[in-house]
Amino acid sequence: MADDRIRELEIMIRLIDIEIILARRREGNEIFLRRTTTRIDLIELSMAIWSGHFPRRSYCTSKCTQEPDCVSLLYNMADESCDLFNVIYDSDDRGDVDYYWVLEDRGTRWVPESCLALSTCSGITTNGEYWVYPAVTNRRLTKIYCHNLATEPSHFITLKYPNNFIIHDESNWIIQHRQCQSAIRLRLKKTKFLKVKLRKESMVVNGTDYTFTSLTGSKPIQYGYARDCNGEHFRNPCPHFGTATIDTRGTGLIIDPTIKFGPINGFGTAIKKFHRSVNRDLISLTCAGWCGQCGPISGPIRFQHSMEFISAADAKAVICNK
């Protein structure tokens, strides 16, 4: 009897496999899914492109094949509920969900890793916020503003909060060549970044691209830098006006925590009031110096993913087909 039961189970498994294969090959749409895990708060059920009940996951896979925008699914074996999604949510080894499947590249359906791939596969030429899956991030879901899609696509991160970088220079002196005598009598030169350009191959910031900036004064300063020209940092009392504020909240990204900030040049230059938030998505500093500059000193500014949840509705998902 035990052997008969084993043979029955083997037959059932083969039938399920056949159902999946047939579903994948329907109308030439062949998809492959692999099982993974994700944090439960990253599964936004209200954004599912289809939800319902199926007796087995093979039927859920079949439904995914029929939905041209489906690239991942969540199947709950307990209540046989099935949710299909048009984005691949971040994988997390500490995840709470055991029944989450995501698309593999070897099928006919795939997700773009760059703005160029997105435009090429879809024909989209409208600039905007899109979901892409860069190779350097292990194909993690990344919200990118695709710029110049019709000509030479480039990648930007839209900054929801102020990212301001201020220059205090000789034009702000009250008494020429006298330290600690400045006041904000003249407007300080400020570069406010609304979007920052990204090299998607490395997630390194191109801080000298000022396409999406608001400029006060005629001289911009690159992303992550500040400059002060009021006096050596150890003089007291001595106000300092060069400041930098990096705020990546709402982007799903943070500055790589291994990046260190410090003085770059000038006399008696140092960083004062350096602050990095607990979530590492907010960095602020004051640069103090006698015409000195402060900024990253351990390498270029580089983004990495945070644990922040970004809604699937915040960007457009594009599915490619071979």
Return the pLDDT at 8.
Answer: 55
Task: Give the pTM.
Answer: 0.88
Token output for 287: 């640069």
Token output for 82: 């099935």
Return the pLDDT at 13.
Answer: 45
In 3D, which of 116, 179, 101 has the Cα closest to residue 147? Answer: 116
Torsion sign (Cα): 182, 188, 191, 192: positive
d(CA 230, CA 224): 20
Sorted by sequence, the CB contacts under 8 Å of residue 95 that are 6+ apart come out as 36, 37, 38, 39, 40
Return the pLDDT at 105.
Answer: 83
Return the pLDDT at 96.
Answer: 77
For residue 278, the tally of other CB atoms under 10 A from its CB is 6
Return the pLDDT at 187.
Answer: 80
Return the pLDDT at 18.
Answer: 45
- Yes or no: say if 233 and 268 are a contact pair by the CB < 8 Å rule: yes
Return the pLDDT at 23.
Answer: 47
Return the pLDDT at 91.
Answer: 78
In 3D, which of 113, 208, 198 has the Cα closest to residue 159? Answer: 198
- Yes or no: say if 276 and 282 are a contact pair by the CB < 8 Å rule: yes
d(CA 239, CA 236): 8
Return the pLDDT at 9.
Answer: 46
pLDDT tens per residue across all 322 residues of the chain: 556 555 554 545 444 444 444 444 445 578 999 999 888 888 999 999 999 999 898 999 999 999 999 999 999 988 999 999 999 998 776 777 889 999 988 889 999 999 999 999 999 999 999 999 999 998 999 999 999 999 999 999 999 999 999 999 988 888 888 999 876 566 899 999 999 999 999 999 999 999 999 999 888 999 999 999 999 999 999 999 999 999 999 999 999 999 999 999 999 999 999 999 999 999 999 999 999 999 999 999 999 999 899 999 999 999 999 8
For residue 52, what are the CA distances in angstroms to 48, 56, 57? 10, 12, 12
Return the pLDDT at 184.
Answer: 59
Residue 31, CA atoms < 13 Å, CB-side half-sphere: 30
Torsion sign (Cα): 277, 202, 164, 132: negative
d(CA 84, CA 82): 7
